[in-house]
Structure 1
Amino acid sequence: MRSYVIVAVLTACLMLLAPGPVFAAERGPVTNLPLPRFVSMKASEGYARRGPSSTHRIDWVFKRRHMPLQIVAEYGHWRRVQDREGAGGWMHYSLLSGNRTVVVTQPEVVLYRRPSPDAAMSARLQAGVVAWLNECAEGWCRLEVEGADGWAPIPALWGVAPDETRD
């Protein structure tokens, strides 16, 4: 009996000293897609509610089509979303799109023809501009907005993970 107690104490001590467990990325219980993840507004207006049903109070109204949002939870046909400032709530999935966009967060961002600050400039974007997200690699993403196309550094954007890679 005493040896079981010693083994249990030693195991507990080792668990405290060992690095934390490595968890797989959290998955949504409804879609089995990663959480959190980015999406965009499909509709030109969408209600963010206090809870996951149409009977819950509206806390926020998003009024910009294609604005990037981050899904942080799922429940049935409802997705808990946040914008870049943390505002949000529960939205019906039909108001959201898997087509990815980003919003420019710096006062001005240069789009380059290649993913390098030494490349030729193709456009300048101001803070708040929403652009379509294409591929991303090594800290850069290719964007498209109103006929302009080019590469921007990820830290200047919201709607893409800092280390995200997309083909």
Structure 2
Amino acid sequence: MAALPAFVQADERGPVTNLPLPRYVSMKASEGNARRGPDTTHRVDWVFTRRDLPLRVTAEYEHWRRVEDAEGQGGWMHYALLSGVRSVLVQGDMVQMHNSPDSGSSVAALLERGVIAQLRACQIDWCRLEVDSARGWVEKRHIWGVAADEEF
């Protein structure tokens, strides 16, 4: 087995930030280049064009973060394009947002596939989201941008 490159750590902590790897962040900018390597001399493989899009950070190197989206697309992005403010991507069609973390509670809104929502809190199976003026709880299985075991 080949040795891991210096920027990939096996201890689940980023060598630059000491934050967990992988972890979720969001796009701070409305457009950002994902490059083949951690430097502006590397080719752009992907361009993200949605502000607040959730991304998963999988590696760090100096001012660069290797990220991927819900479909696994990505590359190396400069950290200035990323934000620690959490968001999620709705992955189901017409997902019910409930008034409480219970499928029997009243429905506050229906969310279309592809909607980006601000993440406010998570329990083991449910997350509290905010989309425009709507707030409520969505089952975690319908969103991308939060770990299955994450609670806060």
TM-score normalized by the length of structure 1: 0.84
Which of 42, 45, 48 is the equivalent residue of 1:56? 42
In the comparison of the two structures, how many residue pairs are matched? 143
Partner of 2:124: 138
Select the structure of larger CA radius of gyration. Answer: 1
Partner of 1:38: 24
Aligned partners of 2:62, 2:93: CA distance in 1, in Å?
39
SS in 1 for 2:65: strand
What is the aligned-residue identity percentage? 59
Structure 1 unaligned spans of 5+: 1-23
Q: Tell me the alpha carbon deviations over residues 102-160 of structure 1, each in whole angstroms, 9 at most, x when there is no partner.
A: 00001121000000001111000010000000110121000000100000000000001
Aligned partners of 2:110, 2:66: CA distance in 1, in Å?
33
Partner of 1:74: 60
Which aligned segments of 4 or more residues in structure 1 are displaced greater than 6 angstroms? Answer: none
| Correspondence 1:157 to 2:137 | no
SS in 2 for 1:52: coil
SS in 2 for 1:162: coil
**1:104-123 paired onto structure 2 within 5 Å:** 104-123=90-109
Tell me the amino acid that sits aligned with residue 36 of structure 2: R
> Over the residues paired in the alignment, what is the CA RMSD in angstroms?
1.0
Task: Say which structure is richer in helix.
Answer: 1
How far residue 25 of structure 1 moved from its aligned partner, in angstroms, is 5.9
Structure 2 unaligned spans of 5+: 1-9
How far residue 78 of structure 1 moved from its aligned partner, in angstroms, is 0.1
